[in-house]
Chain A
Amino acid sequence: MEYKVVIGCEVHVQLLTKTKAFCSCENRFGGIPNTRVCPVCLGLPGALPVVNRTMVEYAIVAGLALNCKVARVTKFDRKNYMYPDLPKGYQISQYDMPICYDGYLEVESNGEKRKVRIRRLHMEEDAGKNIHLEDGSGLSYVDFNRCGTPLLEIVSEPDITSPSEAVAYVQGIKEIMEYLGISDCNMEEGSLRCDANINLHITDGGKLYKTPIVEVKNMNSFRAMKTALEYEVKRQLEEVELKGYSDRGFKVTRGYDDKTGKTVAQRVKEEESDYRYFPEPDLKPIFITDELVEEMRKRIGELPAAKRERLIREYGITKNDAYTLCSSKAFSEYFEEAARGYREPKKIANWVITEVGGFLNREGISIEEFLIPPSHIRRLFELIDEGKISSKMAKEVFAEMTNSMGNKIVTPDEIVEKRGLAQITDRIEIEKLVNRVMEENPKSVEDYRRGRDHALKYLMGQVMRITKGKANPQITSDILKEKLER
């Protein structure tokens, strides 16, 4: 028995427009419930939607970045269903004429690059949020702040062949959206949500069997996504072993439970829901000109995949480092700015990844909130090169820079000067120090001369102790050897 995993993803991305999709309410996450609402997004009688132009522009930019075709005529449709968080009793969405279609995303997983085709990308509005009290009262409330937030729904073809590839695909979408600046793609806040359709194609005895397609929902992180889909592969295999092959079986929905790492069958509706789609009569069709498409194409700029390749080529950094640096647009820009004109950009890449990246992780802040100018990082390396500080001291200077970040930006030169951190590079001064150390440690001098090399390290350490690490290590070691071997 052989099997293939077949996965298709539906990704929802909230757009960072100033106002909501069809009204002028502010579009922002959270807030006191029902404070960012108006007759339109509350679905009051008589209210009418008006299309947010920026949403349309963002959709085109996103579509182009995902190698999609852009429709020249597109329209909105109503998707009818009733739920308390959906105030109109229908969602304004797009049905048979999505704004973008036929694209693809190149995905790299386990060292293999593959194209995942994108069937369509369309615009729609988000719903509100039901809040169920858990105090035994049985009461539920609805918060409509989120209602009307513009969404892109991006639907892939079932081209994905493994859970890790699915994760890479969604990560790829997230990166691109962030690069375009049209979404912050925060899975925890729900600004990026992903559902996956997954089943297995099993070949046994020359015959092909397909397990029923399962729609997996509620995957709120990339880790959850991987666990959920891996579990689902295992579960579907087990089900086949238990029940045998069956041609029957409807598409079912299973929700992922983060606590158990398993997917759980959700309530099965008696019949498939019929959304009774029809063209939204309150909105006119949208005609998209070639000029607009070209204008949007110019907005795309360099996308993560291209940028990674360029960084590897231009700076000679590793693929892994390129992935880390390009994990956010701002982070990669920080690196490039820091490395500008410096002869060993790889060193800067390492520093940005370990020191800057480490600091961001510890503090839980983003690169946008990191106020130290990238040129200061470059200056640190120049100070090392000029022999003014050691690389160990550079770390101290960096710590000092980050410590004072909240108050005032201090240059590395100022810190070095203020703390007297500058290296002692004067040969005569170092000679004096070396002489003193040798006098104070005759035993170690003897040891060295008897061939015990580690004594050199000890004596070096003593010089450093006296100078608080300021003595230039290269010069010190040269002089020490010279004198010891005399």
Chain B
Amino acid sequence: MAIPIESSPPPGWEREGIDGLLGLFPPGRLSEIVGPRSSGASSLLLALIARITTSGGQVAFVDGMDALDPASAAAGGVDLSMVLWVKCGSRLRVALSAADLLVRCPGFAMVVLDLDELGPMPASAHLRLQRAVEGGDTILITRSARHREGSPASLVLATRRLAPRWMGLRPLTRLAGLRSEVSILRSRPSQILTLSPLGRGQGEGKAWTLDWTL
């Protein structure tokens, strides 16, 4: 009996919130999170890392701009002892080389390449990382400000700022959080047989509204 793999999203992908989003990231493939400043992209990354580390997975975080705030990560539930933090000092090539080394080291449940506004990632680097992570169980996620056309990423999530949330009424007393939207910009299964979470184009345009609290 044939099993239509491509049309079978993983269990729970239709679930609400972060848990549903986490199920979208295909192991052994390159995924992207793109979004401008204050769009919730970094919060989404930390939430994903928190879920990986609390289930016992190891995460490598290649920090292009040395921007990771461990206090935020700990507040978000990240087990810091399970995170390998590589600070690259705003050097794009160093960050790309570090990510390349880490995706070739099996055993990490997730490798994150956080470039933010560091610069456009060369297409060749995209391809190299995609090739390096293929065939393994590692989830590779790049985070950048803009999506680059021609990227081989299997999944591209875009984040968009909706509104900040303040506490207090005239005057405001404190920042309570941020509401943002995460949408599937692209979902493209692997060319080879794989348990890809989404079929080609499946779920594109689907959006989640997420509340991040401070």
Do chains A and B interact in one complex?
no
Interface residues of chain B, those whose CB is within 8 Å of chain A, are none
Interface residues of chain A, those whose CB is within 8 Å of chain B, are none
